[in-house]
Amino acid sequence: MADRQAGGSSRLLIKLHEAVQENKFYEAHQLLKTLSFRYTSTKKYDELENLLVKYSGFLLDNKQHESGMDVAIMLSKLYATAEFPVTEKRISDSVSLLQKMPNSPERINFISGVVEWARDSELIGELHATATKLYITDRDFGDAWRHIMRINDGEEAAALTLQIIALMKGFIRLAEVDLVIAHLVIAFLVGKRIAPAESAFMKLVKESPIQDRPPLFNALRYLIEAAKTKDAQAFKAIRDLYEPSFCRDPMLRKLVANAGKSLFNLPDSRYDRQGGGGLMPMLLNAFLNPVE
């Protein structure tokens, strides 16, 4: 039985090679689906991975976007099914495929699949960075923002945030730029990612369009220092001292509370209240509508 399956797969591989050579894209796509089923059932995961990486790229390079993305989605599912470890090569392959995809529901499906597979790896930052850049290009700033907050490199996250700020001039007033910066920095602190928070903050302060440093920037700097030195009392004192700055945006105030809980398990009933509205929900609403 196994020999017959192997023989059948070999014949399919020959047909696939011929279809590719003759640019018979539909036939190649169908053969890949059949091979995917057979290799998965026999747990030939390594061979299948090589096929899917190679030919999803081939189809996308030849502008067969629907077929290419379908094969790429098969690959993302294979990563999860086979429980493949997250490696630089696999991340590089995923990024390369992602960069070839047009804006579409299938691209979102692929991003979701590979992000879920790689979620516990430090290498995931490259996926989030690539997704952010694609969404910025598409003027889909809401999804771009969601990925920015998950980038591991604070300076890269800051640079992409500055791009969004520049492109959203019609929606973001200069007096609100510090709030956008604060959302990114505090989000990093909530995730206990202190080094990226600091590097992002330093770049944003240096390169933001704000001329006069607002009190909120001082608050952010002191919160980062408290997080670095693991000083819960200092964090609490800064949080309370700069409450007027944080309260400019109810969502930011909630983020600060979450950072205190995450870093130091600090409760504060004033911050635990669920605030409504806020700058970021308004901006994300705007982000969801592409700007011409």
What would the pLDDT profile of 137-187 be if each residue is shown by its tens digit? 999 888 999 999 999 999 999 999 999 999 988 788 888 899 999 999 999
**pLDDT tier for residue 252 given thresholds of 50, 70 and 90:** very high
Residue 272: both structure tokens together:
């635990």
* Residue 283 pLDDT greater than 70, yes or no: no
37-56 b/e (C-beta count within 10 Å ≥ 16 → b): ebbbeeebbeebbebbbebb
Burial of 243 (0-12, 13-18, 19+ CB in 10 A): middle
Residue 273: both structure tokens together:
């209240």
**pLDDT tier for residue 280 given thresholds of 50, 70 and 90:** low
| Closest residue by Cα to residue 196 from 147, 255, 150, 253 | 150
How far separated are the first and last CA of the chain, in Å rounded? Answer: 59
- Options 3.40.250.10, 3.40.50.300, 1.25.40.10, 3.40.1640.10; CATH of 2-121: 1.25.40.10
pLDDT of residue 278: 58
Name the region of 213 (left: φ>0; alpha: ψ -120 to 50; beta: rest).
Answer: beta
pLDDT of residue 172: 80
Phi and psi at 8, nearest 5°, equal: -65, -40
**In angstroms, rounded to a whole number, what is the distance separating the alpha carbons of residues 251 and 98?**
32
Indicate where the chain has its CATH 1.25.40.10 domain(s): 2-121
Burial of 99 (0-12, 13-18, 19+ CB in 10 A): exposed
pLDDT of residue 1: 46
Average pLDDT over residues 13-32: 97
Residue type, 247: C
DSSP string, 178-214: HHHHHHHHHHHHHTT-HHHHHHHHHHHHHHSS--SPP
Average pLDDT over residues 216-220: 97
pLDDT of residue 279: 59
71-84 b/e (C-beta count within 10 Å ≥ 16 → b): bbbbbbbbbeebee
For the entire predicted model, the pTM comes to 0.85
Residue 10: both structure tokens together:
């070999």
pLDDT of residue 284: 54
Burial of 252 (0-12, 13-18, 19+ CB in 10 A): buried
R_g over Cα of the chain: 23
pLDDT of residue 287: 45
Average pLDDT, the chain: 91
Tell me if 56 sits within 8 A of 97, measured CB to CB.
yes
| H-run or E-run covering 277 | none
pLDDT of residue 292: 39
Average pLDDT over residues 48-58: 98
Percent of the chain residues past pLDDT 70, beyond the cut: 89
